[in-house]
Chain A
Amino acid sequence: MIRVILPTHLRTLAHVDGEVELHLEGPVTQRSVLDALEARYPMLRGTIRDPTTQRRRAFVRFFACQEDLSHEPPDAPLPEAVALGTEPLLVVGAMAGG
Chain B
Amino acid sequence: MSTVRVLVGTRKGAFILTSDGTRKRWNISGPLFAGWEIYHLNASPADPNRLYASQSSGWFGQQIQRSNDGGQTWEPMGNQFSYDGVIGTHQWYDGTPRPWEFKRVWHLEPSLTDPDTVYAGVEDAALFRSHDGGQTWQELPALRSVKGQLWQPGAGGMCLHTIVLDPSHAERIFIAISAAGVFRTDDAGKTWRPMNRGLKSPYELPDPDAEVGHCVHRIAIHRSRPNVLFMQKHWDVMRSDDGGESWHEVSGNLPTDFGFPIAVHAHEPETIYVVPIKSDSEHFPPDGKLRVYRSRTGGHEWEALTQGLPQRDCYVNVLRDAMAVDALDTCGVYFGTTGGQVYASADAGDSWTPIVRDLPAVVSVEVETLP
Contact = CB atoms under 8 A, between A and B. Distances in A.
A51 B63 CA distance: 13
B60 A10 contact: yes
Nearest to B58: A59
B60 A93 contact: yes
A12 B74 CA distance: 12
Interface in A7-58: 7-10, 12-13, 43, 45-48, 51-52, 57
Contacts of A10: 60
Contact of A43 (B34, B58, B59, B63): B63
Contact of A46 (B34, B58, B80): B80
Contacts of A12: 34
Interface string B53-74: 0000111111100000000000
B58 A48 contact: no
Given A9-B35, A9-B36, A57 B59 contact: yes
Given A45-B80, A46-B80, A52-B82, A13 B63 contact: yes
A9 B59 contact: yes
Chain A interface size range = 20 to 34
A47 B57 CA distance: 9
B202 interface: no
B101 to A, nearest CB: 11
A57 B80 contact: no
A13 B76 contact: yes
B79 A45 contact: yes
A48 B6 CA distance: 32
B60 A43 contact: no
Contacts of B35: 8-9
Nearest to A93: B59
Contacts of B58: 59, 96-97
A64 interface: no
A48 B63 contact: no
A58 to B, nearest CB: 9
Contact of B60 (A51, A57, A96): A57
A87 B34 CA distance: 29
A71 to B, nearest CB: 18
B134 to A, nearest CB: 12
A47 B76 CA distance: 12
A60 interface: yes
A4 to B, nearest CB: 15
A57 B79 CA distance: 15
A24 B58 CA distance: 30
Contacts of A45: 79-80
The residue among B59, B61, B79 with the most chain A CB atoms within 10 A of its own CB is B59
Nearest to B33: A12
Nearest to B80: A51
A46 B59 contact: no
Interface in B76-98: 76, 79-80, 82
A42 B193 CA distance: 38
A9 B76 contact: no
Contacts of B60: 7, 9-10, 13, 47-48, 57, 59-60, 93
B56 to A, nearest CB: 11
Contacts of A51: 80
B63 A60 contact: no
Nearest to B57: A9
B324 to A, nearest CB: 28
Given A9-B57, A13-B76, A51-B80, A46 B36 contact: no
B21 to A, nearest CB: 35
B82 A43 contact: no
Interface in B238-281: none
6 contacts: A7-B59, A12-B34, A13-B76, A46-B61, A48-B60, A96-B59
Given A9-B60, A46-B62, 20 more contacts: A9-B35, A9-B36, A9-B59, A10-B60, A13-B60, A43-B76, A45-B79, A45-B80, A46-B61, A47-B60, A47-B61, A47-B63, A51-B80, A57-B59, A57-B60, A57-B61, A59-B60, A93-B59, A96-B58, A96-B59
Nearest 8 A/B pairs, CB to CB: A43-B76, A47-B60, A59-B59, A93-B59, A46-B79, A46-B61, A51-B80, A47-B61
